[in-house]
């Protein structure tokens, strides 16, 4: 009888610990009015195909993202999570990067070897005017081997169709980038 009582008490304790830990994880990511407004603005300017169905967006702390990740898109939950940053220009590019995933998923992008950064995503980003972000991501050869060649193919096709004209101030982005991006922004041959 005491053994059953102990096992029951332990089960309740573990259950309560799980509940409290889930509440803590949920508290790390939160809906922010400024982030929702930024997402809406970026979508209106660059991703009009998403205006009828914008994903939920949440700002998260650094502890919620492993390996210097700045954001993620969950197509099943139709949710974007981004690292909260003070630098508004880099925040805009991070939101655009994740909206690019949402747009690409509507066009059939699947999460294969490039983890959502495949040919459709590259087309979406270049068409939206974020060629520099597409090129930066393609240059992450440690994470996405072979993506740089896909980018070069896509970008050359877009240029031949007259679609190369990034409308993001890349010079300002490079001057204001957060330190974590220094790890990834290297010259691409």
Tokens describing residue 178? 């957060």
Tokens describing residue 76? 């099943």
pLDDT in tens, the chain (189 residues): 555 444 544 444 444 444 444 444 444 899 999 999 999 999 999 999 999 999 999 999 888 887 778 899 999 999 999 998 767 778 999 999 999 999 999 998 877 777 888 889 999 999 999 999 999 888 886 777 788 888 888 888 766 554 444 444 433 443 444 443 443 443 333
Q: How far is CA 70 from CA 8, 81, 95, 100, 184, in A?
A: 42, 9, 9, 14, 12
Three-state DSSP at 143 gives: coil
């Amino acid at each position: 009888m005491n053994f059953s009582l102990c096992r029951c008490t332990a089960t309740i304790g573990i259950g309560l610990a799980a509940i409290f830990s889930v509440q803590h994880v949920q508290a790390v990511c939160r809906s922010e009015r400024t982030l929702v407004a930024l997402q809406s603005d970026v979508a209106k300017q660059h991703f009009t195909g998403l205006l009828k169905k914008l994903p939920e967006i949440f700002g998260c702390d650094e502890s919620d993202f492993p390996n210097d990740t700045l954001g993620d898109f969950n197509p099943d939950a139709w949710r974007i999570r981004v690292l909260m940053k003070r630098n508004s220009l880099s925040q805009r590019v991070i939101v655009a990067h994740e909206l690019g995933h949402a747009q690409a998923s509507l066009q059939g992008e699947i999460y294969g070897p490039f983890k959502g950064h495949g040919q459709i995503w590259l087309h979406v980003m270049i068409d939206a005017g974020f060629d520099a972000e597409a090129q930066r991501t393609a240059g992450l050869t440690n994470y996405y081997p072979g993506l740089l060649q896909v980018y070069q193919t896509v970008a050359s096709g877009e240029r031949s169709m007259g679609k190369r004209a990034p409308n993001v101030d890349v010079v300002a982005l490079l001057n204001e980038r957060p330190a974590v991006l220094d790890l990834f922004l290297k010259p691409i041959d």
